């Protein structure tokens, strides 16, 4: 009898937990806790509401600057067998200039002449291309040379461009520390907003909106993120967060994949983003949304 009581109790607890996890939450734009969990911790995996499209045409892939720059460097490495690095382990100056001169990603500091392009570290995008290749296991360093791994050789093949994009994009958003180049204290909480950012852009990106529109969405859903920002700073934690989010996602990530268009108004201040290739590369899988659908009657 006692065992039956415990079983019934466990059944009720399980049912209530399941109901809670699937209940729409206003602060989550009416997604459920389990939807938000899958966006944050299963980003772009089979259970995630946001997924890559099954097949992305080459004409679309050719409009993704970071992918094109990555492919160019991989082809240079492949052609030489192994690329000799500088004594400090950086790309040769000739290769750095060649990559930047492709004109795929232009950086304000370089374009305005504030930063001269002498070495790899002078360009954030080129630095990141090399880092992402290493983090994703597509290249390896040995005896001062950079070469492709077996995985890199396989994904460089023309028929595997979709897989290459998925590899470098997921590595960039999940494995790579988005705060690598900035001075914000936060080390990881902003990173978990990756999936929800993609979801919001797919949902709301057809119109030009300020980056603050999206960062406010993130903060509404994850207000605890503010604890990771320095309260003793001259700027309030909330302002630090808005700026951090803009830099990490809009300026130095999605913009480089041509998934958003980013512009900074000189006098009025607001920045705007607009989806460009988002809906050609990603989609929301309705069947993966786990919130309880409400039935409405007239």
For the cut 70, the answer to whether the pLDDT of residue 145 exceeds it is yes
For the cut 70, the answer to whether the pLDDT of residue 264 exceeds it is yes
CA pair distance 283, 222, nearest whole angstrom: 23
Per-residue DSSP letter, 192: G
Per-residue confidence (pLDDT) for residue 91, from 0 to 100: 97
Give residue 142's pLDDT band: very low, low, confident or very high (50, 70, 90): very high
Above pLDDT 70, what percent of the chain?
Answer: 90
Q: What is the mean pLDDT of residues 19-35?
A: 91
For the cut 80, the answer to whether the pLDDT of residue 150 exceeds it is yes
Per-residue confidence (pLDDT) for residue 295, from 0 to 100: 46
pTM reported for the whole predicted model: 0.91
CA pair distance 252, 178, nearest whole angstrom: 8
CA pair distance 14, 33, nearest whole angstrom: 15
Per-residue confidence (pLDDT) for residue 234, from 0 to 100: 79
For the cut 50, the answer to whether the pLDDT of residue 298 exceeds it is no
Q: What is the pLDDT of residues 99-133, one digit of tens each?
A: 999 999 999 999 999 999 999 999 999 999 999 99
Residues paired with 272 in a beta bridge: 210, 263
Burial environment of residue 130 by CB neighbours within 10 A (0 to 12, 13 to 18, 19 or more): buried
Give residue 296's pLDDT band: very low, low, confident or very high (50, 70, 90): very low
Per-residue confidence (pLDDT) for residue 272, from 0 to 100: 85
Averaged confidence pLDDT in the chain: 90
Which region among 10-24, 60-74, 133-147 has the lowest average model confidence (pLDDT)?
Answer: 10-24
- Residue corresponding to tokens 């268009």: 261
Q: Which backbone phi and psi does 42 adopt, to 5 degrees?
A: -130, 40
Residues paired with 146 in a beta bridge: 83, 141
The secondary element (H helix, E strand) that includes residue 124 is helix 124-135
- Residue corresponding to tokens 């302002």: 239
Q: Longest Cα pair distance anywhere in the chain, in angstroms?
A: 81
Residues 6+ apart with CB under 8 A from 272: 208, 209, 210, 211, 261, 262, 263, 265
DSSP characters over 160-178: GHHHHHHHHHHIIIIIS-T
CA pair distance 276, 68, nearest whole angstrom: 16
> Comparing C-alpha atoms, which of 153, 10, 28 is closest to residue 79?
153
Q: How many CA within 13 A on the CB side of residue 28?
A: 22
Give the residue, 55 or 269, on which the prediction is more confident.
55
Per-residue confidence (pLDDT) for residue 292, from 0 to 100: 83
């Amino acid at each position: 009898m006692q065992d039956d009581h415990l079983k019934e109790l466990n059944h009720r607890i399980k049912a209530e937990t399941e109901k809670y996890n699937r209940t729409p939450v206003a602060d989550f734009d009416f997604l459920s806790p389990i939807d938000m969990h899958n966006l944050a911790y299963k980003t772009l995996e089979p259970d995630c509401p946001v997924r890559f499209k099954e097949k992305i045409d080459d004409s679309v892939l050719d409009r993704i600057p970071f992918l094109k720059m990555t492919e160019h460097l991989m082809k240079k490495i492949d052609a030489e067998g192994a690329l000799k690095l500088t004594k400090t382990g950086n790309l040769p100056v000739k290769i750095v200039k060649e990559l930047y001169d492709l004109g795929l990603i232009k950086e304000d500091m370089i374009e305005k002449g504030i930063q001269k392009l002498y070495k790899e570290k002078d360009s954030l995008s080129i630095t990141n291309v090399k880092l992402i290749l290493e983090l994703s296991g597509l290249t390896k360093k040995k005896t001062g040379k950079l070469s492709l791994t077996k995985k890199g050789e396989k994904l460089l093949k023309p028929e595997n461009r979709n897989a290459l994009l998925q590899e470098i994009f997921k590595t960039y958003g999940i494995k790579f520390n988005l705060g690598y180049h900035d001075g914000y204290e936060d080390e990881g909480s902003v990173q978990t907003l990756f999936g929800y950012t993609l979801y919001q852009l797919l949902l709301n990106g057809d119109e030009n909106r300020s980056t603050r529109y999206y960062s406010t969405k993130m903060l509404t859903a994850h207000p605890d993120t503010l604890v990771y920002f320095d309260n003793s700073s001259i700027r309030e934690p909330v302002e630090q967060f808005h700026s951090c989010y803009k830099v990490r996602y809009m300026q130095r990530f999605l913009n480089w994949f041509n998934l958003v268009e980013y512009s900074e108004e000189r006098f009025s201040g607001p920045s705007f983003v607009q989806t460009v290739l988002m809906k050609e590369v990603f989609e929301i899988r309705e069947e993966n949304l786990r919130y309880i659908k409400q039935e409405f009657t007239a």
